[in-house]
């Protein structure tokens, strides 16, 4: 996936990072840098910085960082090439697609077109006599015509090749149908057949409006009840949520997370245009990150059964990690939102939403339900566990309020409960201080990168490599004095790759700046590199650069030629080895 360096330079020049970021974040200038509230994690004081002359951004809170392309990848949830295209479009630049790149994108475009045609085909099938049963089902579920149209629902006929025939007639190839996951191949006969048969079809549409796959619900007793498209080059379940394309325009101010399409669709029909559903997977961190880009608050409405409650418990920390406020809806008198809306209507659901518990309440009530509080022993045990739980709540006000509530549940006085919570709180503080001290010690001792994907195995060399790159980026003509270094000399592979690429740019008279590395390095590596560049510039003596070069090559020799210090000795050793082999 290579764009030419000249094109990427032009792209970076025409998209000044402060302008691009400025469209998402209000920035204020402090010295040569700009600061604002980080769009990637919840915060009240600005720890997100932009350095225009270096062309990079960095957040001191969540440690995300990189060039302008990385920023767009992160905030628009795009792949590297799509982020480049996004910025090219923004600046009115034509993208010179290279062959491999062009063919992948072309292929995606074909699959999007195919899925769109397939959705149209399924939708038309709804009007045929063969679809009587599915129409009856739609009516029974209370879906209106406008809902059917809005979500583009359809019917996959109960035959083996209706879709296959219709799509090949439209000029799509068998490979394309296989690649889109719409057909399967019969290994024995070598023939193809439709994946979706006799099902109510739900097109899955990404945030940019492309049809990327389908979900289908059976009309008979066959299994599985719900079948989704497999993962394809256009459909990634970990990154997509059903109805997100509609929800991103919602003005409700929160997003409702449901367990299935039917719940999400029912909510939309009843006026809650902010409901999404995951696609046959539990919520992933990628989903949580995406949600946090469109809202500040998420309401979980998973089923009341054990599986649904487990899913809720798993989702809460993932969502909170992104800075989202999380509320949990406790369904009363119905098993899911769809049933609730039918029984009681939208107004009652709105009331339920308003009374939905924040996660603090939810956790306390979940705990309460584990105990029989009419039994004294259980009361005591509940009070202990509740104190432990409440001591984790972050503000004093929360601890006070929920302490009083827990006391009420257990039939204890608020004071007794308060003492228990304080004890638990002090215990927790002591433990976390110890852990923090230990962590501080470890960090200062090893200076390991934050990202677990990057390891410093040779600390002496790694620190020299960090400093070398910082100096080179500030003063590229120093490359003249680093001629003896090669990419493999670097103990940290990403530094070697960065060095190599920057030196080639310098030799080709291209700009030497960190944002030029967005294509070569992973987002984690870019974030790590920017975190190094963000450290205050200490004026280094002239000799410092030579020291770095010397340390890197020394450590390389030590690691690779194990103690052999010169050529003569190396020859000796080789000769000795040969000698042994000959015996």
Work out the burial of residue 155: count CB atoms within 10 Å of its CB; fewer than 13 is exposed, 13-18 middle, 19 or more buried. buried
Residue 280 sits in the site that holds Zn ion (CB under 5 A): no
Residue 50 sits in the site that holds Zn ion (CB under 5 A): no
The answer to whether 211 touches 112, Cβ cutoff 8 Å, is yes
> What's the min distance (Å) between Cβ of 293 and Zn ion?
13
What number of chain residues touch Zn ion (CB under 5 A)?
Answer: 6
Closer to Zn ion by CB, 41 or 399: give it: 41
> What's the min distance (Å) between Cβ of 41 and Zn ion?
4
Residue 490 sits in the site that holds Zn ion (CB under 5 A): no
Choose the binding region for Zn ion from 24-32, 35-43, 256-264, 284-292 (rule: CB under 5 A).
35-43
Closer to Zn ion by CB, 77 or 240: give it: 77
Site string for Zn ion, 398-437 (x = CB under 5 A): ----------------------------------------
Q: Which two tokens stand for residue 292?
A: 């946090």
Dist. CA 88–CA 15, nearest whole Å: 8
Residue 118 sits in the site that holds Zn ion (CB under 5 A): no
Site string for Zn ion, 177-216 (x = CB under 5 A): ----------------------------------------
Choose the binding region for Zn ion from 39-47, 240-248, 261-269, 340-348 (rule: CB under 5 A).
39-47
3-state secondary structure of 48: strand
Residue 41 sits in the site that holds Zn ion (CB under 5 A): yes
Helix 261-269 to helix 337-354 angle (10° resolution) is 60
Closer to Zn ion by CB, 268 or 528: give it: 528
Closer to Zn ion by CB, 38 or 87: give it: 38
> What's the min distance (Å) between Cβ of 71 and Zn ion?
12
The answer to whether 364 touches 417, Cβ cutoff 8 Å, is no
Residue 40 sits in the site that holds Zn ion (CB under 5 A): yes
CA quadruple 90, 94, 99, 102: dihedral sign: positive
Closer to Zn ion by CB, 292 or 391: give it: 292
Partnered with residue 347 across adjacent β-strands are none
Q: What is the DSSP letter of 340?
A: H
Q: How many residues does the chain have?
A: 583
64 vs 16, 79, 320, 494, CA distance in Å?
19, 16, 17, 17
Dist. CA 391–CA 280, nearest whole Å: 35
> What's the min distance (Å) between Cβ of 517 and Zn ion?
21
Closer to Zn ion by CB, 37 or 478: give it: 37
Residue 38 sits in the site that holds Zn ion (CB under 5 A): yes
> What's the min distance (Å) between Cβ of 409 and Zn ion?
38
Residue 459 sits in the site that holds Zn ion (CB under 5 A): no
The secondary structure element, H or E, covering residue 429 is: helix 414-446
Q: What is the DSSP letter of 129?
A: G
Closer to Zn ion by CB, 289 or 338: give it: 289
Dist. CA 181–CA 216, nearest whole Å: 13
> What's the min distance (Å) between Cβ of 18 and Zn ion?
17
The answer to whether 238 touches 219, Cβ cutoff 8 Å, is no
CB neighbour list of residue 328: distance below 8 Å, 6 or more residues apart:
299, 300, 312, 316, 356, 357, 358, 359, 362
Dist. CA 475–CA 479, nearest whole Å: 9
Q: Which residue is associated with the tokens 């990150």?
A: 289
CB atoms within 10 A of CB 171: 11
Choose the binding region for Zn ion from 32-40, 257-265, 371-379, 443-451 (rule: CB under 5 A).
32-40
> What's the min distance (Å) between Cβ of 467 and Zn ion?
26
Partnered with residue 543 across adjacent β-strands are none
> What's the min distance (Å) between Cβ of 352 and Zn ion?
33
Q: Which residue is associated with the tokens 């619900």?
A: 217
> What's the min distance (Å) between Cβ of 227 and Zn ion?
39
Q: Which two tokens stand for residue 46?
A: 């600005």
Closer to Zn ion by CB, 292 or 461: give it: 292
> What's the min distance (Å) between Cβ of 55 and Zn ion?
19
Site string for Zn ion, 52-91 (x = CB under 5 A): -------x-xx-----------------------------
Closer to Zn ion by CB, 39 or 203: give it: 39
Residue 304 sits in the site that holds Zn ion (CB under 5 A): no
> What's the min distance (Å) between Cβ of 37 and Zn ion?
9
Closer to Zn ion by CB, 59 or 234: give it: 59
Choose the binding region for Zn ion from 37-45, 65-73, 84-92, 496-504 (rule: CB under 5 A).
37-45
329 vs 45, 304, 494, 546, 577, CA distance in Å?
31, 10, 46, 63, 73
Choose the binding region for Zn ion from 41-49, 359-367, 375-383, 453-461 (rule: CB under 5 A).
41-49
The answer to whether 335 touches 303, Cβ cutoff 8 Å, is yes
Q: Which of 113, 123, 108 is nearest to 203 (CA)?
A: 123
Choose the binding region for Zn ion from 40-48, 80-88, 520-528, 562-570 (rule: CB under 5 A).
40-48
> What's the min distance (Å) between Cβ of 532 and Zn ion?
17
> What's the min distance (Å) between Cβ of 58 and Zn ion?
9
Residue 152 sits in the site that holds Zn ion (CB under 5 A): no
Residue 25 sits in the site that holds Zn ion (CB under 5 A): no
Helix 414-446 to helix 376-390 angle (10° resolution) is 40
The answer to whether 460 touches 555, Cβ cutoff 8 Å, is yes
Site residues for Zn ion per CB under 5 A: 38, 40-41, 59, 61-62
């Amino acid at each position: 996936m290579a764009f030419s360096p000249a094109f990427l330079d032009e792209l970076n020049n025409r998209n000044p990072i402060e302008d691009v970021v400025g469209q998402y974040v209000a920035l204020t200038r402090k010295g040569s840098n700009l600061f604002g509230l980080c769009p990637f994690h919840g915060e009240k004081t600005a720890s997100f910085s932009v350095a225009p002359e270096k062309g990079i951004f960095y957040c001191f809170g969540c440690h995300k960082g990189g060039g302008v392309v990385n920023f767009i990848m992160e905030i628009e949830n795009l792949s590297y090439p799509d982020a480049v295209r996004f910025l090219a479009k923004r600046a009115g630049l034509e993208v010179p697609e290279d062959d491999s790149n062009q063919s992948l994108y072309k292929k995606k475009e074909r699959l999007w077109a195919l899925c769109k045609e397939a959705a149209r085909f399924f939708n038309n099938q709804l009007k045929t006599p063969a679809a009587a049963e599915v129409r009856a089902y739609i009516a029974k579920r209370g879906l209106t015509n406008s809902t059917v149209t809005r979500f583009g629902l359809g019917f996959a006929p109960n035959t083996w090749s209706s879709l296959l025939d219709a799509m090949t007639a439209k000029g799509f190839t068998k490979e394309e149908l296989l690649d889109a996951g719409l057909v399967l191949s019969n290994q024995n006969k070598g023939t193809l057949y439709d994946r979706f048969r006799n099902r109510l079809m739900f097109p899955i549409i990404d945030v940019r409006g492309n049809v990327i796959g389908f979900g289908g619900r059976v009309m008979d007793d066959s299994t599985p009840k719900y079948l989704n498209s497999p993962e394809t080059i256009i459909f990634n379940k970990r990154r997509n949520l059903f109805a997100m394309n509609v929800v991103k325009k919602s003005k409700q101010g929160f997003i409702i997370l449901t367990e299935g399409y039917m719940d999400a669709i029912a909510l939309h029909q009843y006026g809650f245009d902010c409901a999404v559903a995951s696609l046959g997977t539990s919520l992933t961190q990628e989903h949580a990150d995406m949600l946090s880009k469109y809202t500040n608050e998420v309401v979980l409405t998973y089923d009341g059964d054990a599986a649904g409650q487990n899913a809720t418990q798993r989702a809460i920390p993932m969502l909170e990690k992104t800075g989202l406020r999380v509320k949990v809806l406790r369904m009363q008198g119905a098993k899911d939102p769809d049933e609730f809306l039918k029984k009681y209507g939208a107004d009652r659901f709105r009331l339920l939403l308003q009374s939905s518990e924040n996660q603090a309440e939810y956790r306390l009530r979940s705990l309460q339900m584990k105990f029989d509080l009419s039994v004294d022993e259980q009361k005591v045990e509940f009070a202990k566990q509740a104190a432990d739980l409440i001591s984790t709540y972050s503000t004093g006000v929360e601890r006070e309020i929920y302490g009083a509530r827990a006391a009420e549940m257990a039939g204890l006085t608020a004071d007794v409960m308060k003492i228990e919570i304080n004890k638990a709180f002090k215990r927790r503080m002591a433990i976390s201080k110890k852990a923090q001290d230990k962590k501080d010690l470890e960090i200062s001792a090893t200076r390991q990168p934050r990202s677990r994907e990057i390891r410093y195995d040779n600390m002496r060399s790694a620190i020299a490599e960090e400093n070398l790159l910082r100096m080179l980026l500030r003063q590229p003509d120093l490359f003249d004095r680093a001629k003896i270094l090669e990419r493999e000399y670097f103990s940290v592979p990403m530094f070697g790759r960065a060095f190599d690429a920057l030196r080639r740019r310098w030799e080709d008279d291209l700009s030497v700046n960190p944002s030029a590395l967005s294509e070569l390095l992973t987002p984690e590596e870019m974030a790590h590199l920017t975190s190094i560049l963000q450290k205050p510039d200490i004026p280094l003596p002239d000799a410092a650069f030579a020291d770095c070069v010397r340390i890197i090559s020394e450590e390389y020799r030590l690691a690779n030629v194990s103690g052999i210090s010169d050529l003569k000795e190396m020859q000796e050793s080789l000769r000795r080895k040969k000698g042994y082999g000959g015996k």
